[in-house]
Amino acid sequence: MLSHDMLDAWAHLGSPVHQLDARVKLVCALVLVVAILATPVAANVLQAVYAAVLVAIAAASRLPAAWVLRRMAILAPFLVLGTVAVMFLPSAEAISLWISVGGKCVLALLGSVLLAGTTTSADLLRAAHALHVPRTLTALSGFALAYIAVLAEEAGRMITAMRSRGGVRGLGRRLRVGVSMLATLMARTAERADRIALAMVARGYRGTMPALAQERVPAAQWAVVGGVVALTGALTWLGVSA
């Protein structure tokens, strides 16, 4: 079963990064990602600086390296395809462009993984609401997280049932069973989603989630945001003026 506790398995550590307020971490992550994406194509040295900053944050967060790498692996197929495409364009400009684009993708994803790994999903939603992200968007994000857990739970049950029956041999049979399981999974999830929606309406839900009160962010933590903004601003200025 995949619950929110499993989704946030490493979000309760006592590292300095974990102790920062979710609003501070969300703003810092957004600033870093925007700065990384705004880095000029030829400024690969600046990307190396951002990489060093993110690696230092990862070390300070004490997140397991294997956990971070598993979540970064989602980008691997796209990096492989891009590398293969560049092999057919063996020019220095194409290679430099691919290094820049691929590096930006890796660094942006790493920043997102570190944010998700050091902050619970509930805290992230509360932080987004406090930063005046549209309430509809935060509600949809919360529902998506809940339904991901439902999907994983149902899929785990079906896989366990299949294995208890001795498994399936042969590629063709596995494909047929996989398609059948996927169709059944979608049907079961739709049924559960409908029951959840009816239960929410019965409890007074009218399209928006209730506002959640939060404590003030300590001034010292906002200083962290100021430091990140100053660093990224200086690096961006260096990249543009170079």
User: For 9-65, what is each residue's pLDDT tens digit?
Assistant: 788 888 999 999 999 999 999 999 999 988 887 778 889 999 999 999 999 999 999
DSSP for 10-68 reads: TTT--SHHHHS-HHHHHHHHHHHHHHHHHS-TT-HHHHHHHHHHHHHHHHHHT--HHHH
Extract the tokens encoding 197: 């929606």
pLDDT attached to residue 143: 76
DSSP state of 109: H
Residue 71: other Cβ atoms inside 10 A: 17
Please classify residue 140 by burial: count the beta carbons closer than 10 Å to its beta carbon, then call 0-12 exposed, 13-18 middle and 19+ buried. Answer: exposed
What's the predicted TM-score (pTM) here?
0.77
Burial class (CB in 10 A: 0-12, 13-18, 19+), 242: exposed
pLDDT tens readout for residues 175-184: 777 777 778 7
What six digits make up the tokens of 180?
A: 């059948």
142 contact partners, CB below 8 Å, separation of at least 6: 121, 125, 209
- So what's the pLDDT on residue 214? 67
Residue with tokens 């942006």: 108
Q: Quick one: pLDDT at residue 140?
A: 78
What is the predicted pLDDT for the residue at 3? 46
- Which residues of the chain are modeled with pLDDT < 70? 1-7, 90, 166-171, 174, 206-214, 242
What is the per-residue pLDDT for 209?
Answer: 60
Number of neighbouring beta carbons within 10 Å of residue 160: 10
Q: How many C-beta atoms surround the C-beta of residue 44 within 10 A? A: 13
